[in-house]
Amino acid sequence: MAKSFENRVAVVTGGGSGIGRASALAFAMEGANVVAADIDVEGGEETVQMIKNAGGEAIFVRTDVTKAVEVEAMVNKTIEVYGRLDCAHNNAGIDGTGLPADELSEADWDRVVSINLKGTWLCIKYEAPQMLKLGKGAIVNTSSIFGLIGGFPNNAEYVASKHGILGLTKGAALDYAAKGIRVNAICPGAIRTPILERQMPNPDALKMVTSLHPIGRVGNPEEVAETAVWLCSDAASFVTGACLSVDGGWAIT
């Protein structure tokens, strides 16, 4: 049976762990040649090995998404190795500092916004021209439930960056809608990733966060990954500029 991404090429940033790793694996399972990008060399290379062990094709490219030269090099490497770029999951991101807005340093603000928002824009900046050459493509950006709501106190820089991703997604969707490129965003709730483990180190904290999800549990990385793959697939051919919640119902409470 033909796979839906056979002969296509997918870039996944933040591919060394969590949602990014699950996304890279999901694209590979559907036949895509995958470029896993991450600043974490060990994690990224492990993701690639997992794909290869499952019979897929992938390469790792170390990439700091805050640096234009590195993002451009990542996309250039994709073209050098695979000759094209069909879809991208711009997923690289970090959490906030846990400080109130007045206690943030300028460096704190710049670091979170640069990785989460600027990094997503830089990826689009260099991915889109390659997709324009094909006359089609699909981009998915990872925002957050905190791109839709205020979330928790002491998280302003993270909330701002994730709201910004939604604005960027809508603006870019308009830029490319008539040119064959669809741009969408995913807003995950609490997902079992290394970030969640770091934020919720004890059972009581995790229980509290779980209670915010009407579905009664936190999510798994694979559930977000499958959504990213669907948004990049032909099945979502009439979907662009959307912000799709994958949050167990948190946003509707």
Residue with tokens 């830089």, as numbered in its chain? 122
pLDDT > 90 fraction of the chain, expressed in percent and rounded: 92
Q: HSE (CB half, 13 Å, CA atoms) of 13?
A: 31
Domain ranges, ordered by start, for the chain: 9-248
**Of residues 82, 126, 158, 176, which has the active-site annotation?**
158
pLDDT of residue 3: 86
Mean pLDDT over residues 107-131, rounded? 98
Report how far Cα 169 is from the mean position of its chain's Cα atoms: 12
Per-residue model confidence as pLDDT tens digits over 66-79 = 999 999 999 999 99
Kindly tell me if the per-residue pLDDT of 200 is higher than 90: no
Among 83, 92, 84, which residue's Cα sits nearest to residue 36?
Answer: 92
**CB-neighbour burial class of residue 145 (10 A; exposed 0-12, middle 13-18, buried 19+):** buried
The pLDDT value given to residue 129: 98
Q: What is the pLDDT of residues 216-243, one digit of tens each?
A: 999 999 999 999 999 999 999 999 999 9
d(CA 155, CA 32): 36
| 1 pLDDT more than 70 | no
| Encoded amino acid at 127, one letter | E
196 pLDDT higher than 90: no
- Whether the pLDDT of residue 213 is over 80: the answer is yes
Q: Is 158 part of the annotated catalytic residue set?
A: yes
What average pLDDT does the chain have? 96
Average pLDDT, stretch 174-198?
A: 93
- Residue identified by tokens 């965003």 is 185
pTM, two decimals, is: 0.96
Q: Compute φ and ψ for 11, nearest 5 degrees.
A: -100, 135
- Name the amino acid, one letter, at 210: T
pLDDT band at 2 (very low <50, low <70, confident <90, very high): low
Burial class (CB in 10 A: 0-12, 13-18, 19+), 100: exposed
Q: What CATH code would you report for 9-248? A: 3.40.50.720
Average pLDDT over residues 121-139: 98
CA atoms of 120 and 29, how far apart (whole Å): 25
More confident call, 197 vs 94:
94
Q: Which residues contact 45 (CB under 8 A, 6 or more apart)?
A: 60
